[in-house]
Amino acid sequence: MTSTEQQPALATTKRKFHKLLDNLTASNSTTSLASTLQESNASTASLSALSEPDSPEHPNKRPRSANLSMERQRGISEGQERIRQLKEQLMTPRREKTIKVVGKTVVTPKASTPRKAPNFQPYSQEHFLERLKTFADVRKWTTKPDAINEVEWAKRGWSCDIWNTVACKGGCENRVAVKLRPKRKDANGKDLEMSEDLAFDIDDALIERYKDLIVEGHSDDCLWRKRGCQEDIYHIPIASRTKSSAELLDRYRFLKAISADLPLLEHITYPDPPIQQILARVPSSFFTSTGTQPPLSPSDTVAFVFALFGWTGVSESRISLAVCNHCFQRLGLWLSSATRLTEMSKKLDVPIESLRLNLLESHREHCPWKNADIQANEKDSPIANMPAWQTLQFMLLGRHKDIPTSGSGMHTPSKQTPRKSHQQHARNNDSVDIGSELEYPRGSFDSVERPKDVDEDEDGGLREKWSKLKAKLKRSASKKSLKSMKSGKSVKSGKSVATKAGDKEKS
């Protein structure tokens, strides 16, 4: 009896065990459905309906294993729900440009940073001027002989780093300390830092040594050791009329912004011709084509004079300065104000005329606006041996009798004379049309029509050049015109032959 009574109990236990395993290994959808049904329907009848119908137990009696399986199903469903929420959070893109996907690696683009320009660019005037600008601070660099001045160092890739020390920044990073004179001494005999005793003469052998170091100071694998900038890197391309006229008007507009701080016209001096003659011959389209107001007030006239000689205007900390963007000279305009000049004239007991601001001589000696050799215009062009200021005036006005080419005559205006005659307002025939969009290569003026009354060279070279140019233009007719000329000649010759034949028959 005992063995027969234990068999049904053992079978029941196995069925319950297998049912419990089925519940644990059920799919997500089945488990969630079962948990939903169990949570929504709490009645005993529905729960008994989901139980095994073949159980020999009493239907109203609830086994303990059923409660255990329900608790486990509820725990599994809660865990799966938690996993689903985590997946939704991980799969949702974030606003910080980062995407995180389970099982995948997504590379997000980084913020683009501008690349640093290469150090070795011997053809770039922009980079050359950036290096040259580092020498402009008088607290870091003192005047050197022409053979080893700042232009020569900048042409070979050097920048001024600290007091009289140059560095190849961005290249081989070598440094050279340029010490030509001993330091000055104070009253106690101690050396003064960042000073040079100008009383000592410079040894020529020392200059030659530093001249060699301009090249040999670089490391062996540095590109600046093998090659420097081209010789005309400092050249201002004024022969490009579109570019030079646009830069002139830009300088004029910057100076107009600080016109209240500019000196009076009678307190500045510059080479001839006077500004009134220049403005009378500049075509009105030069200003109106770019929407710029021509100089009408005395302060605007002074601003245009400054712009003609390469100066532009800046304002730093409420201080107005005139700056050259090529030699980086800076002029404090308050030093040339009427009040300041009157005060200095009384203190120094000198006439006020001797204290006028010279717009040309205020440039540094190596500046192309002042130095014709540095400007290096083409030798076979009409602007040969002209500094930049003279080249710009030639582009505006052309060569004329009243425009000196030597630059020796200095104009010191006493007051501004009004432009009143009709001839002054009329455009002069020998001025160059700067309103056109044509650009000419450096030093090339072969395409500009030359006036008849132009001054001739001593050997009559200009007249010969223009005669050759006219002959070349005559020969440059189109093929169509040549064909028409040939056809015209053949018709004409046919008519002449016919007339000759008719005359013979008559005779």
CB 308 within 8 A of CB 278: yes
Alpha helices by DSSP H, 110-264: 125-133, 150-155, 204-216, 223-226, 241-256
Domain boundaries along the sequence of the chain = 2-91, 125-226, 241-466
Q: What is the pLDDT of residues 180-209, one digit of tens each?
A: 998 888 888 888 888 888 888 899 999 999
How confident is the model over 61-70, as a mean pLDDT?
A: 60
CA–CA gap between residue 362 and residue 259 (Å, rounded):
19
- The lowest-confidence range among 64-68, 444-448, 465-469 is 444-448
Q: What is the pairing mode between strands 357-358 and 175-177? A: unpaired
CA–CA gap between residue 424 and residue 282 (Å, rounded):
10
Q: Which of 245, 341, 255 is nearest to 299 (CA)?
A: 255
Q: What is the pLDDT of residues 399-412, one digit of tens each?
A: 544 444 444 456 66
> Greater confidence, 451 or 82?
82
Strands (E), 292-409: 311-316, 319-324, 330-332, 357-358
pTM of the model: 0.59
Whether residue 454 is predicted with pLDDT greater than 60 in this model: the reply is: no
Q: Phi/psi at 334 (nearest 5 deg)? A: -65, -20
Q: Which of 360, 376, 257 is nearest to 309 (CA)?
A: 360
- The lowest-confidence range among 12-16, 17-21, 55-59, 362-366 is 55-59
The conformational region for residue 189 under phi > 0 = left, psi -120 to 50 = alpha, else beta, is: left
Q: What is the pLDDT of residues 9-49, one digit of tens each?
A: 666 676 776 777 677 665 444 444 445 445 544 444 444 44
Q: What is the pLDDT of residues 471-485, one digit of tens each?
A: 666 555 444 444 444
> Greater confidence, 251 or 74?
251
3-state SS, one letter per residue, for 229-281: CCCCCCCCCCCCHHHHHHHHHHHHHHHHCCHHHCCCHHHEEEECCCHHHHHHH
- Quickly count helices (H) and strands (E) in the chain: 18, 9
Averaged confidence pLDDT in the chain? 74
CA–CA gap between residue 296 and residue 277 (Å, rounded):
14
- The lowest-confidence range among 30-34, 230-234, 461-465 is 30-34
Percent share of the chain, pLDDT over 90: 42
Q: What is the pLDDT of residues 96-153, one digit of tens each?
A: 444 444 444 555 555 556 666 788 999 999 999 999 999 999 889 999 999 999 999 9
Q: What is the pLDDT of residues 165-188, one digit of tens each?
A: 999 999 999 999 999 998 888 888
The pLDDT confidence band at residue 79, using thresholds 50, 70 and 90, is: confident
